[in-house]
Each structure stands twice: as C-alpha cells, then as structure tokens.
Amino acid sequence: MGRQHDHARVGTISQQRQRVLRFALYANAAFMLAEVAGGIAFGSLALLADAAHMLSDVAGLGIALIAQRLIDKPVSVRHTYGLQRAEVLGAQANGVLLLATAGWILFEALRRISDPPDVAGPGLLIVATLGLLVNVVSAVLLARASGKSLNMRGAYVHMVADAAGSVGAIVAGLAVTFAGANWVDPAASLFIAGLVVWTSWGLLRDTTHVLLEGTPDDIDPQLVERGLAAAPGVASVHHIHLWHLTSESTALSAHIVLEGQPSLHQAQARGDDIKRMLADRFAIRHTTLELECHDCEPAEAHHT
C-alpha cells in the first residue's frame, strides 16, 4: 500500500512539473518572437542576444519537457530502471546548449563593442522589462516544482540566466535613453554571456557527476557505513557503494556480515530491517544487500 502511495505521489509531482514546463515553454516562445522583432526594429544587440538566449530557453524547456515525460515510461526488459536517467541527460543537454549560446553572444558582442550601432533606447527598455516579467514568473513556478531534480534545475537555470539578461538589456536601455551610451548595449551582452557560462558550468558538473555514478553530495558515506555497522545483528560491513540513479533517487549496495548463524528467514528479516533503516534515516530506497555469515574476502582486500 505504501509503495502504491509513493508511485501515485511521484506521478502527481511529474504531472505538475510537466504543466509548469509547458507554461514556461509557451510563454518564452511567444516572447522570444517579440524580442526578435524588437531587436531588429530598435537595432539592439542586447535584445537580439537575449532573444538568442531565449531561443536556447525554448529549446531547453522543450528538452526538459520531453525528459520529464520519458521519466514516466514504465520499466522494460531493455530498461529495467525505466528511463529515469533521461532527466539527467536532459539537464546535461541544456548545459551544453547554454554554453553554445554564450559563445554566440560573446562573438557578436566583441564584434560590435568597438563600433556600437545606434540603438532605440525606449523601445529596448519596454521590451526588456516585459521579458523580465516573463522570466521571473517562469523561474518562480519552476523553482516551486523543482525539488532536487536536475532536469527541472536545468530549466530553472535557463530562466534565471535569461532574467539576468533582461536586467542587462534594461540597463542598456536606460543608458542609451538618458546618456546616449550605445556601447552599453554590447557591454550588457558580454555580461549576459559570462553569466550563462557560469550557470551552465555548474549544471554540467553536477549532471556529469551523476552519470559517472559519483557519491551523492547530500549523503555522508561514512555515516551510512556507521549506521549499517550499528544495525542489530550486524557483525561487519564492506563493499559499500553509493550512487545516484537520478538526481532525486539514491541507490546503495553493500555486503553485510551477520552475527551468529541465522536461518534464511531470519537473515531476510534482518535485511528488511536494514533497508527500512536506510530509507528512514538516509532516504535511500534502492538498496541491494548481500547478506553473509562470514567475510567474503580477507579484511585487507575490503574497499568501502
């Protein structure tokens, strides 16, 4: 009954995330077209740069939405864990997309900064302010639905970086309108590019860590080992491995040497108790335990 409740809860969260992603996708796609038109009409590289970043947002949100749908696919003979890691792959694809966008913005900004074109400041200011509103609303909704999901974080990072880009475009609009400083427009684009690189790097680092099955950052392996060793009926523990199945799902495997000579039924009961302890204390719910009556290898060969 508890497992059915967990699956129902996960399904509800996934549906909520899909709704939020769809809203952000449609809102950003509509405003991206407005920014392209505004950038061309007002001669603003900052607006075109932000529109290019918003194009990556639209693509990134589409990737995130597809990945979120793939997570819900049932397990199969070919994919015994289902397609849960699609959320990590989606987040990593978004990181690469952000870096590519930053490269284009940087190239265009450096090309124009020495000879900035005339920019229609008031028009730039209006479009950028509306863009900031779209970005902030989308970012807030994504943040509320994100949890620890890297896929949702990838979409959220897009929105936050684009909101900062809109702020840069607003600054450029103010500078052009009140000071005639056309150079601020490409300078703001350099700021946007730097911000995009910074945010995408963290996303790529974290997704790569998950794909390489690194130890989860929010769990102390030594604390887990002590918890296992202190469990009733446990003589010793070795060969402990911790990794992320997804950004929100941790897995563990370990060899557990039991005290005495328990029957098969007793050993299974102790194993079930240990699994409940891991779920309650560390939120580890994908556990594989090899129960032993003696060490499988000499002590010096053990690796945690």
pLDDT of 253 > 50? The answer is: yes
- Rounded CA separation 248/240 (Å): 20
Q: Is the dihedral of CA 154, 159, 162, 167 positive or negative?
A: negative
3-state secondary structure 209-268: HHHCCCCCCCCCHHHHHHHHHCCCCEEEEEEEEEEEEECCEEEEEEEEEECCCCCHHHHH
How confident is the model over 5-56, as pLDDT tens digits?
Answer: 454 455 578 788 888 999 989 988 888 888 788 777 777 666 676 677 677 7
Architecture of domain 221-301: 2-Layer Sandwich (3.30)
- Checking if the pLDDT of 228 tops 90, the result is yes
Q: What is the domain partition of the chain in residue ranges?
A: 2-211, 221-301
Q: Rounded to whole angstroms, how far apart are CA atoms 96 and 203?
A: 9
Instruction: Say how far apart CA 112 and CA 219 lie, in whole Å.
Output: 48
**CATH architecture of the region 2-211:** Up-down Bundle (1.20)
Q: What is the pTM of this model?
A: 0.69
Of 29-38, 65-74, 123-132, least confident by mean pLDDT is 123-132
